[in-house]
Amino acid sequence: MAHRIALVPGDGIGNEVLPEGVRLLDHLAAQTDGLAFEYTHLDWGAERYLRDGVSLPEGAIEWLQSDIDAIFLGALGDPRVKGQQHARDILLGMRFKLDLYVNFRPITLLDARKCPLKNKGPEDVDIVVFRENTEGVYTGIGGQFKRGTPDEVAIEAEMNTRKGVERIIRAAFEYAEEHGRKSVCMSDKANAMRHGHDLWQRAFKEVASEYPAIENFHLYVDVLAMELVRAPERFEVIVTNNLFGDIITDLGAQIQGGIGLAGSGNIHPGKVSLFEPVHGSAPDIAGQGKANPLATFLSAGMMLTFLGHPELETRIQNAVQQTLLADEVTPELGGTLTTSQVTDRVLARL
C-alpha cells in the first residue's frame, strides 16, 4: 500500500528543497520492493494567502487526519506578509490542531570539519532533543492593556498542562529506552518560573522513576546552553519546553554544522505527523539554486522511520554524510554545487 504524503513546499527556498526531497523519495521507491508514495500537492503559503486570503484552508485538518499518513513541508515565511500571519496559521495551526506534541530534533554531527567547537567530532555530538510542541508561550495567551501609552502593560502567559508536560517527558524516556540511550536531561528555569516549571520538575521525577535503567538529570536552561558548547558529549536525550527547545535546537543546529543540515519531525505517535527542515524560507537566496537540500533529506529520513522504514533513514544519513565528506555541497558550506547537483550526488550514493 502506498504511503499517502501531503506535500507543502510553502515559500522561498521551500519550493526548491522540497522537490529535491520528493526526488529522493521517488529514487528510494524505485529501488525498494513494495515501497510507494501517493502525493497530494498543496499550494499553502504566501502566494495563495496574498491572492485570496486563505492560509490553512477550511476542512484541511479533518482531511489530513482521514486521508494522509505524513506531511512533508519545505518552509513558510515571506517578507511581503506582515507578521507572517499565513505561516503562523499553517504551521502552528497544524501543530496545535493535529496535536503534534513531539518536536523531534536530532543534533548529529556528520562531518567534524563543520563543527565550530574545538576538538569535537561526531562521537561528541549525537543528541536528540524532544521539544514540547503544543503549549508553552506559543498558545498566544496573554494580552495588552493601555497599548501605546506610557502605562502600557503586556502579559505573555506560559501554559503548562500536566498532560502536556508528562507526555513529552515520557516520549523522551521511551525513545531513550528503545534506542539504547543511557540518559535523559530535562531542562527548565524552575528557579525563576516557579509555577509552571515546578510542574516540569515533579512530572520529570515521577516519569523518570518508571525508567530506572536510564540515568536522569536536570539543568537550568542557562546552564544547558553553556554545557552544550563546553561539553556536548554529556548529552544523549534532552527534553524541554517549547520556547527553550526552539532556542537550544538552533544552538544545536550550529554545533552540527549549520541550519542547512538540521531536520525535524512534528509528531503525534500513531497519527498523521509533519516533517520539515529546521531552516526558514531564506528569501535572501531564494530562486538562485543555492539552497542546501540536505536538511530536507534528513527530514525525509525521519519521515520514513515514522512510516516504518528505519533502514531507509540510515541509508539516507550515510549518503548525506558521504556527500558532506566529499565536499559536494552548496555555497553556504563552502561548496560550488547547486541544490539539484547536491541531490544528484546523494542519489548516486544511495
Whether residue 52 lies in the annotated active site: no
Pattern 290-329, ligand ATP, x by CB under 6 A? -xx--x----------------------------------
Minimum CB separation of residue 178 from ligand ATP in Å reads 30
Sole window of 59-67, 117-125, 238-246, 279-287 interacting with ligand ATP (rule: CB under 6 A)? 279-287
Closest C-alpha among 271, 342, 266 to residue 302: 266
Active site annotation includes 250: yes
Burial class (CB in 10 A: 0-12, 13-18, 19+), 139: middle
Identify the active-site residue in 78, 138, 175, 290. Answer: 138
Here the cell at position 130 is 524532544
State how far the Cα of 166 lies from the Cα of 177, in Å rounded to an integer.
Answer: 16
Specify the stretch interacting with ligand ATP by CB under 6 A; choose among 18-26, 152-160, 280-288, 302-310: 280-288
The distance of closest approach from Cβ of residue 160 to ligand ATP in the complex, given in angstroms and rounded to an integer, is 25
Query: How crowded is the C-beta side of 289, counted as CA atoms within 13 Å?
Result: 8
Report if residue 255 touches ligand ATP, rule: CB under 6 A. no
Q: Which is nearer to ligand ATP, 216 or 292 (CB)?
A: 292
* C-alpha closest to that of 76 among 302, 262, 278: 278
The reply on whether position 73 binds ligand ATP by CB under 6 A is no
Handedness of CA 237, 242, 246, 247 (dihedral sign): negative
In Å, what is the CA distance from 184 to each residue of 171, 202, 252, 314? Answer: 11, 15, 16, 23
In angstroms, the CA 233 to CA 227 distance is: 9
Positions 220 through 249 that interact with ligand ATP (CB under 6 A)? none
By CB under 6 A, tell whether 251 contacts ligand ATP: no
Least Å distance, CB 34 to ligand ATP, is: 32
Active site residue 89: no
Q: How far apart are CA 118 and CA 343, in angstroms?
A: 30
Looking at residue 333, the DSSP 8-state letter turns out to be G
Beta-bridge mates of residue 45: none
Least distance (Å) between residue 259 CB and ligand ATP? 5
Q: Give the alpha-carbon dihedral of 9, 15, 17, 20, to 10 degrees.
A: 90
Annotation says 220 is catalytic? no
C-alpha 89/C-alpha 87 separation (Å) is 5
Residue 9 and residue 19 in contact, taking contact as beta carbons nearer than 8 Å: yes
If one asks whether residue 280 binds ligand ATP (CB under 6 A), the answer comes out as yes
* Residue 326-345 contact track with ligand ATP, rule CB under 6 A, x = bound: ----x-x-------------
Select which of 26, 89, 126, 250 is catalytic.
250
Rule CB under 6 A: say whether 21 interacts with ligand ATP.
no
User: Does position 77 bind ligand ATP by CB under 6 A?
Assistant: yes
Contacting positions for ligand ATP (CB under 6 A)? 13, 77, 259-260, 279-282, 284-285, 291-292, 295, 330, 332
The catalytic site residues sit at 138, 189, 222, 246, 250
